[in-house]
């Protein structure tokens, strides 16, 4: 469609995002677009510019669309007006007919219907212009005609215009009626005047049935609902005025049961049309089904919460003693033991590991089921990793009297990027299964590599055994929850039947796959196919095996003496000085007397728990060190809850020395970087790799916008480019507001950025801005600065992904 310079359009809409979006679409085809945000402004602009076509919403502040349209029609009956609304309310429909509205479009606006409506109005405008021009020429060329001839011509033109108006009114009525999605019929005292197409769709009856017999639909009302409906209808028809509405079910001729909302309205206008009756049927089956689904969802959520609490309690009750068992075993192993004592200690550790494996399996499958697992991508020396895992299982295999072979292909890269914990989990579960179900023969572990393209390759971890194998009819069930081939498996072998399920879920999480090839009685081959990037070979980010020398002063709040000893030993090995508090209240008192670099806070303690203590510390002191929570609740949702309550970070029990050192080092590094850069960092290091895993640009929002713009990439790029320009300004305003302690400006900027982010699908930026909004409402501004640091990081990453994936810029 070529751009039209001859037609001017006034668009009145109170919703900013809708007005902006639709105006951009209209401006591609019409040059003269005038915008107003309410009926009053629209009326003023109409009298000022006299646009050819008016497009207006109905419900608006100050003055609604119908009132504005009525006044425009009073001043110019020929004005071309298109109404848009999300409501199919009959009162609006009748008012629009009385006013003389030209077109009526329901929201969401179908672009093709909008263009068709504009084209109809445009044709009428052009026709009026042409008539006006022709009249002018006729007047100029026929000035010598007699007065009688002029009067005759004028009468003829009035007659033609009147016929056109009548014809247009009937046509407009039919167009509006056919746009209504509910079944609709209009009648007078004697007969049915009009039935729309939706009547047949909803009732399953032909429109001719209702023309012949206006009461025909009553025969299809559900027997349980009919008597009550007929009582209400009789009362309504006796008055011949007002309206009624009720709900009932119908059974269509095809046997389908539908829930119906029935409306019946009498309109008495004796001066013009006499008595009119409008009846409507709305199919609300979807609403009933939605309510049922919501109720089912509520029940499912309650069941999930019970399951969640059960697993949290199981986790806490089992992990707390296990923490003591493992840690004290490690300390005991470092002392001088007799052979018998060493054997006893090995038995203790083996039993503890079995119990921990069961606990971890239950927690892992729960987190995987509820998408609470996040991958932690790190460089891995794959050969060292493979040697460690295969070495462990080689000893176990040989002790069972089996042979063990391990090979790694020459083309396997030295370093890959993946989640080391999850990779080890899959490899060890597959090896554990092979060992469990193999009584004679051998177990093979091998790693190979195959290139996919220039950027990616597959790392294939293959575990083969000569065990009992898997029946062919069972191969498609082995990855199901609690799956074991038969009852004898449960009696003969330990485990819950979760191992392969966890393997498959982790493989999918890492964008890989698990394949199996097995023959009953001959053995099985499981292959874990892991896609990785080719560019990781030069990375050198590895920690040493020995503990780092931290040399910090640490306050540790914990009521259990075993845990106090364990964590103290771990920290003292790094050169740290540790002070112990028996509860949260004692921790607060100790902090008042001494400065600490790190606070470790157990969650569950007598007198005062860790969450309460953290909140009181934040209320009393502004310059706190990082506070890291410790608890046996290992679920990700619990960790997020604790962080939301004021903790800076969280570690689950049993506490691993590696995780403890890593967390403390990260917070120590962040604190040092913050001191070096000042109050607010001006720049954040580039972090563009793996953006999809760090920033959640909502692709459904992008897809919806593309559908609404008919996949016009120019418009999409313009929208997202505009977002980046405006968001840059808002980020700068937020930075300045924090620096100047201007809380009102800070709230305005974060609120604006929150709305923009939600519109384009930047949900992490949206949630951080929402949190900053809450801080303003609570008059708690101390956390604005760290939230802004987090916001800056996410926004920089978001900006990069928009430029890369939406704007297609070369970064």
Residue 11's pLDDT is: 92
pLDDT range class, residue 349, cuts 50, 70, 90: confident
pLDDT range class, residue 678, cuts 50, 70, 90: very low
Token pair listed for 437: 């179900």
Give every CB contact of residue 595 below 8 A, 6+ residues apart in sequence.
553
Least confident of 152-161, 246-255, 474-483, 597-606: 152-161
pLDDT range class, residue 803, cuts 50, 70, 90: confident
Same structural domain for residues 381 and 522? yes
Would residue 471 count as lying in a domain?
Answer: yes
Of 263, 289, 315, the last residue of a domain is 289
**Is 40 strand, coil or helix?**
helix
DSSP H helices in 38-146:
39-49, 65-75, 90-99, 111-141
Domain that holds residue 576: 553-672
- Domain with residue 266: its CATH number is 3.30.450.20
Same structural domain for residues 515 and 482? yes
Same structural domain for residues 523 and 568? no
Rounded-to-integer distance, Cα 794 and Cα 796, Å = 5
**What are the φ and ψ backbone dihedral angles of 516, each rounded to 5 degrees?**
-135, 140
Question: How buried is residue 345: exposed, middle or buried, by Cβ count under 10 Å (0-12/13-18/19+)?
Answer: middle
Rounded-to-integer distance, Cα 601 and Cα 599, Å = 6
Residue 68's pLDDT is: 92
Residue 431's pLDDT is: 92
Residue 685's pLDDT is: 34
Residue 720's pLDDT is: 84
pLDDT range class, residue 343, cuts 50, 70, 90: confident
pLDDT range class, residue 448, cuts 50, 70, 90: very high
Which residue from 350, 372, 367, 373 is spatially nearest to 315, judged by alpha carbons? Answer: 367
Least confident of 373-382, 479-488, 547-556: 479-488
Rounded-to-integer distance, Cα 298 and Cα 630, Å = 32
- Domain with residue 418: its CATH number is 3.30.565.10
Of 117, 140, 160, the last residue of a domain is 117
* Average pLDDT across the chain, whole number: 79
pLDDT above 90 covers what percent of the chain? Answer: 16
Give the single-character DSSP code of 781.
-
- Domain with residue 757: its CATH number is 1.20.120
Would residue 542 count as lying in a domain?
Answer: no
Same structural domain for residues 235 and 111? no
Rounded-to-integer distance, Cα 426 and Cα 512, Å = 11
For residues 484-490, average pLDDT: 47
Residue 663 has pLDDT above 70, yes or no: yes
Token pair listed for 122: 């445009």
Residue 489's pLDDT is: 47
Residue 539's pLDDT is: 41
The residue ranking higher by pLDDT, 366 or 118, is 118
Residue 146's pLDDT is: 62
Q: What are the beta bridge partners of residue 449?
A: 459
pTM to 2 decimal places = 0.35
The residue ranking higher by pLDDT, 673 or 120, is 120
The residue ranking higher by pLDDT, 24 or 690, is 24
Rounded-to-integer distance, Cα 325 and Cα 336, Å = 18
Residue 687 has pLDDT above 50, yes or no: no
Give the single-character DSSP code of 486.
S
Residue 598 has pLDDT above 90, yes or no: yes
Same structural domain for residues 778 and 737? yes
**Is 775 strand, coil or helix?**
helix
Would residue 300 count as lying in a domain?
Answer: no
Question: How buried is residue 138: exposed, middle or buried, by Cβ count under 10 Å (0-12/13-18/19+)?
Answer: middle
Residue 579's pLDDT is: 94
The residue ranking higher by pLDDT, 167 or 411, is 411
Same structural domain for residues 418 and 486? yes
pLDDT range class, residue 702, cuts 50, 70, 90: confident
pLDDT range class, residue 103, cuts 50, 70, 90: confident
Residue 615's pLDDT is: 92
For residues 641-647, average pLDDT: 83
pLDDT range class, residue 585, cuts 50, 70, 90: very high
Residue 693's pLDDT is: 41
Residue 72's pLDDT is: 92
Would residue 133 count as lying in a domain?
Answer: no
Same structural domain for residues 513 and 451? yes
Least confident of 32-36, 169-173, 466-470: 169-173
Residue 737 has pLDDT above 80, yes or no: yes
Of 533, 566, 586, the last residue of a domain is 533
CA torsion sign for 81, 84, 88, 91 is: negative
Residue 777's pLDDT is: 62
In the chain, the number of structural domains is: 5
pLDDT above 70 covers what percent of the chain? Answer: 78
Residue 243 has pLDDT above 80, yes or no: yes
- Domain with residue 79: its CATH number is 3.40.50.2300
Which residue from 601, 624, 623, 595 is spatially nearest to 613, judged by alpha carbons? Answer: 601
Would residue 327 count as lying in a domain?
Answer: no
For residues 225-251, average pLDDT: 88
742-794 confidence digits (pLDDT tens)? 888 888 888 778 777 877 778 888 888 877 877 766 666 666 777 888 888 88
Would residue 684 count as lying in a domain?
Answer: no
Would residue 687 count as lying in a domain?
Answer: no
Same structural domain for residues 409 and 526? yes
713-735 confidence digits (pLDDT tens)? 877 887 788 888 888 888 998 88
Residue 38's pLDDT is: 92
Strands (E), 567-676: 577-581, 598-602, 627-631, 649-652
Token pair listed for 340: 């018998």
46-70 confidence digits (pLDDT tens)? 999 999 999 999 888 889 988 999 9
Same structural domain for residues 501 and 404? yes
Same structural domain for residues 645 and 708? no
Residue 540 has pLDDT above 50, yes or no: no
Residue 636 has pLDDT above 60, yes or no: no
**Is 48 strand, coil or helix?**
helix
What strands lie across the sheet with 627-631, from one edge to the other? 577-581, 553-557, 598-602, 627-631, 649-652
Residue 765's pLDDT is: 84
Residue 207 has pLDDT above 50, yes or no: yes
15-43 confidence digits (pLDDT tens)? 888 888 888 888 888 889 999 999 999 99
Same structural domain for residues 99 and 36? yes
Residue 166's pLDDT is: 42
Residue 544's pLDDT is: 43
Would residue 125 count as lying in a domain?
Answer: no
Same structural domain for residues 383 and 528? yes
């Amino acid at each position: 469609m070529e751009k039209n310079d001859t037609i001017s359009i006034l668009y009145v809409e109170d919703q900013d995002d809708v007005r902006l979006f639709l105006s951009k679409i209209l401006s591609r085809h019409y040059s003269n677009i005038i915008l107003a945000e309410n009926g009053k402004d629209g009326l003023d602009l109409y009298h000022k510019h006299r646009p050819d076509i008016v497009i207006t919403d109905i419900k608006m502040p100050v003055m609604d669309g119908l009132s504005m349209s009525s006044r425009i029609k009073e001043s110019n009956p020929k004005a071309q007006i298109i109404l848009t609304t999300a409501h199919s309310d009959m009162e609006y429909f009748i008012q629009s007919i009385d006013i003389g509205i030209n077109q009526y479009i329901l929201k969401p606006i179908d672009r093709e219907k909008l263009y068709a409506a504009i084209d109809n109005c445009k044709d009428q405008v052009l026709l009026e212009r042409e008539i006006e021009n022709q009249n002018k020429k006729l007047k100029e060329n026929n000035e010598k005609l007699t007065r009688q001839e002029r009067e005759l011509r004028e009468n003829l033109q009035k007659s033609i215009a009147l016929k056109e108006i009548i014809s247009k009114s009937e046509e407009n009525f039919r167009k509006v009626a056919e746009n209504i999605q509910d079944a609709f019929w209009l009648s007078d005292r004697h007969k049915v005047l009009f039935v729309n197409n939706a009547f047949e769709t909803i009732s399953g009856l032909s429109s001719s049935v209702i023309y012949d017999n206006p009461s025909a639909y009553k025969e299809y009302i559900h027997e349980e609902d009919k008597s009550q409906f007929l009582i209400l209808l009789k009362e309504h028809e006796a008055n011949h005025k007002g309206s009624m509405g009720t709900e009932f079910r119908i059974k269509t001729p095809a046997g389908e049961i539908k829930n119906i909302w029935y409306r019946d309205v009498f309109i008495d206008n004796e001066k013009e049309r006499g008595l009119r009756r409008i009846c409507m049927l709305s199919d609300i089956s979807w609403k009933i089904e939605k309510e049922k689904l919501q109720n089912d969802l509520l029940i499912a959520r309650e069941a999930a919460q019970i399951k969640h609490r059960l697993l949290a309690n199981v986790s806490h009750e089992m992990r707390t003693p296990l923490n003591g068992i493992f840690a004290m075993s490690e300390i005991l192993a470092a002392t001088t033991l007799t052979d018998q004592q060493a054997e006893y200690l090995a038995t203790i550790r083996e039993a503890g590991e079995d119990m921990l494996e069961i606990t971890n399996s239950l927690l892992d499958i729960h987190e995987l089921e509820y998408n609470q697992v996040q991958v932690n991508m790190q460089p891995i020396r794959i050969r060292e990793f493979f040697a460690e895992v295969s070495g462990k299982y080689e000893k176990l295999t040989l002790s069972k009297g089996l042979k063990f072979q391990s090979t790694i292909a020459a083309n396997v890269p030295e370093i890959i990027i993946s989640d080391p914990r999850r990779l080890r989990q899959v490899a060890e579960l597959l090896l554990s299964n092979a060992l469990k179900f193999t009584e004679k023969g051998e177990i093979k572990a091998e790693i190979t590599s195959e290139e996919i393209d220039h950027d990616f390759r597959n790392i294939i971890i293959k575990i083969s055994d000569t065990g009992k194998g898997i029946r062919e009819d069972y191969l498609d069930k082995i990855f199901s929850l609690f799956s074991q081939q038969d009852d004898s498996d449960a009696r003969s072998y330990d485990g819950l039947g979760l191992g392969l399920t966890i393997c498959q879920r982790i493989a999918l999480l890492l964008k890989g796959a698990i394949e199996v090839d097995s023959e009953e009685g001959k053995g099985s081959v499981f292959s874990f196919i892991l896609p990785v990037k080719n560019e990781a070979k030069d990375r050198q980010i590895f920690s040493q095996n020995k503990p780092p020398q931290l040399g910090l002063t640490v306050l540790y709040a914990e009521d259990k003496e075993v845990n106090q000893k364990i964590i103290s030993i771990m920290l003292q090995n790094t050169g740290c000085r540790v002070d112990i508090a028996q509860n949260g209240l004692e921790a607060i008192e100790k902090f008042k007397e001494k400065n600490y670099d790190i606070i470790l806070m157990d969650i569950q303690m007598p007198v005062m728990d860790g969450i309460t203590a953290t909140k009181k510390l934040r209320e009393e002191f502004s310059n706190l060190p990082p506070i890291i929570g410790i608890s046996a609740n290992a679920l990700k949702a619990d960790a997020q809850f604790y962080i939301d309550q004021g903790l800076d970070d969280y570690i689950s029990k049993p506490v691993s020395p590696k995780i403890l050192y890593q967390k403390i080092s990260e917070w120590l590094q962040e604190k040092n970087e913050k001191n070096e850069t000042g109050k607010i960092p001006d720049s954040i290091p580039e972090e563009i790799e793996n953006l999809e895993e760090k920033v959640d640009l909502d692709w459904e929002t992008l897809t919806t916008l593309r559908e609404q713009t008919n996949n016009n990439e120019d418009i999409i790029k313009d929208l997202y480019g505009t977002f980046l320009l405006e968001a840059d300004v808002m980020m700068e305003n937020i930075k300045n507001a924090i620096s100047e302690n201007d809380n009102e400006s800070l709230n305005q900027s974060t609120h604006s950025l929150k709305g923009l982010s939600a519109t384009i699908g930047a949900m992490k930026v949206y949630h951080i801005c929402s949190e900053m909004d809450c801080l303003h409402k609570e008059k708690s501004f101390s956390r604005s600065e760290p939230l802004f640091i987090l916001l800056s990081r996410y926004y920089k990453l978001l900006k990069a992904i928009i430029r890369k994936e939406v704007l297609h810029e070369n970064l």
